[in-house]
Every structure is written in structure tokens, then in C-alpha cells.
Amino acid sequence: MKGAERRGLTPEAIARAYRASCLAELDALKPGNVHTFADGHRMAVVDFVTSATVSAPHLAGAGSRVGRRVRDAMDATMAAVGQNTNLGILLLCAPLALAAEQDGTLPDALLRVLGGFDRQDADDVYAAIRRANPGGLGKAARHDVTETESPPSLVAAMAEAAPRDAIARAYVTGFADLFTIGLPALAAARARGLAPPWTTTAVFLAYLAQAPDTHVSRKHGAERAEALRLEAAALLALDLAAEPVEALLERDRAWKAAGLNPGTSADFTVATLFLDHLSA
């Protein structure tokens, strides 16, 4: 039962849940992002499948701290596919994986994880970000990721980045968006009788319609990200039970032609599915 007292999961169970979540997200038609209906942004579905496979053992490493999980999983990904396919996914899923190892409720365990970072976590996370070299980061006045010296506090660095990055914001809000947007959208989709992968599409659209995607805003500006949000909100009127593939692919082609990749919304979608698996 979600939220109930529970025993911690084994690394094998956590790795299975992570891989299943990554693959389920790829199966869903997510306009503008990479999925089994269409590649995009010079990336292919096979790259993401490989990334999920090679990163899973590190993401679920027994007893490993969050930073080490992210760094080792990012190193494995870059070695296997040669590009950043999953930094955001790892940053969101690593704290969930460590929380899932612990006894007690997942929300409580997650808060303990987020409150327990040390300097090594900051060193490892910043090393992973530099290795991934994600696009559109720009320069920050403090705690800039391009600096060789990592910040003394990972939470302080995430708080600094929070206004411009939803994943960083998750670290200082207790991953609130997963509980207020993602899980409710998933539950509502199931209550409407939707089956995967359309439940996953519903979660993705819920994130994209709720707030401007920060990956898009960093690369294309706040105005374009807000316009994309409004377009996504209009897609919520589609009857996903009717499997509107052509309507969503039309948006998919248009957004990809414009170079728009709502990657943050996709990362949160994976994390939502992962949290749902871990809570089952």
C-alpha cells in the first residue's frame, strides 16, 4: 500500500523497477521527446534502452550514496552510448532508489535522504553533470557546474539552480511534483480505464501542461517554453482512450522540427513511474 510502513527493497528489485520505468516511458508517445513511435534530436530509442540497462546496477547499488549512484551510472551511460541520455533521470531516481532501500514509508525515507547529503555527494553529482555536459545550462553566479571545485552543499547548489531548473527544485521541495502532479495524473489515467502506454502519455502531458518545461526554457527562452506549455494543455483535451496517435505525432513532428525537446517533463515521467513501482 502506498505510504504504508514497508520493508526496504533489495537492489535487484530496485534495478528491475528502474529498468521497467525507463522502458515504459520510451513506449509512450511523448510529443517532442524520443519514444518508440519516433526518434529525435539526434538520439535513438536504442540509446535510451542501452542507457537504462547499463545504468541500472549503479543506480541500485546497495548502500551507495546518491552522488555515487549518479556518477557511476552517468559514467556507465557515457561509456556505452557516448552521449547524455539520462542525467535528469538519474538525478531524480537516485534519491528514490536510496530511499527504497530503507524501511518505513517512502516519503519519509526520501526526506531523510534529501536531508543527509554530504560533501562527497556534491563532488560526485557535479562530476556527473560535467561528464554529461547537458545543453543549455548557461553560467551561474554561484555553484557553476563548469567550475572544477564543487560546492560544499549539494542542497545549497540545488536551491541556487531551482528557479531555472525543475530537477534542482525537486531537491529542495521534497520532490513535491512527483506527489502533486505525477502520481495523481497516473491514478486519474488508470481510473479512466487507460492502459499503458497511454497512462504514461497522460503523465507526460500533465507535467508539460502544468509548468513550462525548464529544459525548453533554458535552450529557447521562457516565452517559448510557456507557449509550449499552452500547446500541451490543449492536448489534454484529446481522448487518450481513442489512442490519438496521428494527432500526437503531428505535434511531435512540429516540436522536433523547431528543436523543442521537453526533456524535463520526460525525466519526471520516468521518476513518477519509478516511484509508483517502488510504492507497489
Q: Give me the pLDDT at residue 40, please.
A: 83
Q: Give me the pLDDT at residue 266, please.
A: 98
Q: Give me the pLDDT at residue 265, please.
A: 98
For 243, the 3-state DSSP assignment is: coil
pLDDT at residue 42 is higher than 90: no
pLDDT at residue 142 is higher than 80: no
Q: Give me the pLDDT at residue 138, please.
A: 43
Q: Give me the pLDDT at residue 52, please.
A: 98
Residue 91: count other Cβ atoms within 10 Å of its Cβ: 25
Q: What backbone torsions phi and psi does residue 121 show, to the nearest 5 degrees? A: -60, -45
pLDDT one-digit tens code per residue, 83-140:
999 999 999 999 999 999 999 999 999 999 999 999 999 999 999 999 998 754 444 4
Average pLDDT over all residues of the chain = 93
Q: Give me the pLDDT at residue 212, please.
A: 97
Q: Please name the residue ranges forming H helices in the chain.
A: 11-27, 45-59, 66-81, 87-101, 106-114, 119-132, 154-161, 166-172, 176-177, 183-191, 198-210, 214-220, 222-235, 245-257, 263-279
pLDDT tier at 141 (50, 70, 90 boundaries)? very low
Greater confidence, 112 or 141?
112
Evaluate if pTM is beyond 0.85: yes
Counting the structural domains of the chain, the total is 1
DSSP 8-state class, residue 35: B
CATH classification of the domain holding 108: 1.10.4200.10
Q: What backbone torsions phi and psi does residue 262 show, to the nearest 5 degrees? A: -75, 65
Q: How far apart are CA 32 and CA 46, in angstroms?
A: 17
Q: Which of 142-146, 216-220, 223-227 has the weakest average pLDDT? A: 142-146
pLDDT at residue 215 is higher than 60: yes
pLDDT one-digit tens code per residue, 43-72:
899 999 999 999 999 999 999 999 999 999
Its domain, for residue 191, covers 1-280
C-beta of residue 273 within 8 angstroms of C-beta of residue 93: no
pLDDT tier at 6 (50, 70, 90 boundaries)? confident
pLDDT one-digit tens code per residue, 9-18:
999 999 999 9
